[in-house]
Amino acid sequence: MTAVNVEPGRCGENWDSCPHLTTGETFDFACAGCGDCCRKRRDLVLSGYDLYRIARRLRLSPRIVASAFCKSYVADTTCLPALRLTPDPKTGDCRFFEGSACAIHAARPLACALYPLGQSIDTVTARMEYYVQTPLCGARAGKRTLQDYLNDAAIPDREGIDARWAIVCTQLSQKLQAAGGQNNPHFSAAAKRTERALYYDYSLGDEFYPQFYQNIEILMPLLDRML
Ligand code: SF4
Ligand code: SF4
């Protein structure tokens, strides 16, 4: 399976051996609000939609949010530009963790909304799979299913965008790698232009998806000319 993973881990966790769940399976979990998943986090990788939602919540442009709260980098394996939400350098906690709550709760990134789940998206079929951290944090919730949990976290509302994001990122990665990746003399300019299309060229007054679609329609032939 060609898959893109959303891994919401804390430092030191290993998600490779976590059990997978289907949506109809019992998921006996209720968040206890301890805040541990916001402390000592690995840097969270954001999608363009994550950044757009945070930017709307903060009423700042995506680029300003990225420069204030994120680190931009090119992933070695995919050659794709990406953004990580960086933790507080002194505490290691997320910088949106205020008191004992998330200051951007309604706009929290997908990885946070999923926690303690991880998500894997098949980039051919767009099928999603979920896996769960063990040992499980929180309280036991009785007979609820994974689908109940996903509904409460509003994950289905964004699944279409998240699946499309994973598929487009895979296509872009393949294009950049086929052109020689970072060995291509024009890679740096191409990566910057790709970063713009994925993360920054969005008006907060308009819906995300049509802008994403248009950005990629413009980007793909442009990359063919640049590389
Ligand atoms: S964005 Fe919110 S939920 Fe996610 S780690 Fe930061 S404080 Fe926690
Ligand atoms: S998801 Fe788990 S670690 Fe995070 S606040 Fe809820 S119980 Fe605590």
pLDDT in the model for residue 133:
82
Angle at 103 between CA 50 and CA 28, to 5 degrees: 75
Q: Are 180 and 56 in contact (CB under 8 A)?
A: no
If you average pLDDT over every residue of the chain, what do you get?
Answer: 91
Q: Are 82 and 73 in contact (CB under 8 A)?
A: yes
Q: Quick check: 3 pLDDT over 70?
A: no
Residue nearest to atom 6 of ligand 2 (CA): 31
Q: Report pLDDT digits (tens) over 6-65.
A: 665 554 456 667 888 888 899 988 899 999 999 987 778 999 999 999 999 999 999 999
> Where residue 72 falls among pLDDT bands split at 50, 70, 90?
very high
Residue nearest to atom 1 of ligand 1 (CA): 108
Q: Report pLDDT digits (tens) over 74-93.
A: 999 999 999 999 999 999 99
| Sequence-distant (≥ 6) Cβ neighbours of residue 102 within 8 angstroms | 38, 94, 96, 108, 112
In this structure, the residues whose C-beta lies within 6 A of any atom of ligand 1 are 38, 41, 94, 96-97, 102, 104, 108-109, 112
Q: Which helix H or strand E contains 193, and what residues bound it?
A: helix 187-195
* Residue 78: burial class (beta carbons within 10 Å; 0-12, 13-18, 19+): middle
Residue nearest to atom 8 of ligand 1 (CA): 38
CA of 158 to the centre of ligand 1 (A): 18
Of all ligands present, the nearest one to the C-alpha of 133 is 2
CA of 195 to the centre of ligand 1 (A): 23
Using CA atoms in the order 4, 9, 13, 18, what is the torsion angle rounded to 10 degrees? -50
- Token couple for 20: 């997978």
Q: Which atom of ligand 2 is nearest to the CA of 137?
A: 2
Q: Report pLDDT digits (tens) over 190-210.
A: 999 999 999 999 999 999 999
Residue identified by tokens 């413009």 is 218
Ligand 2 pocket test, pick from 34, 38, 110, 114 with the greatest ligand atom count within 8 Å of Cβ, gives: 34
Distance CA 182, CA 186 (A): 8
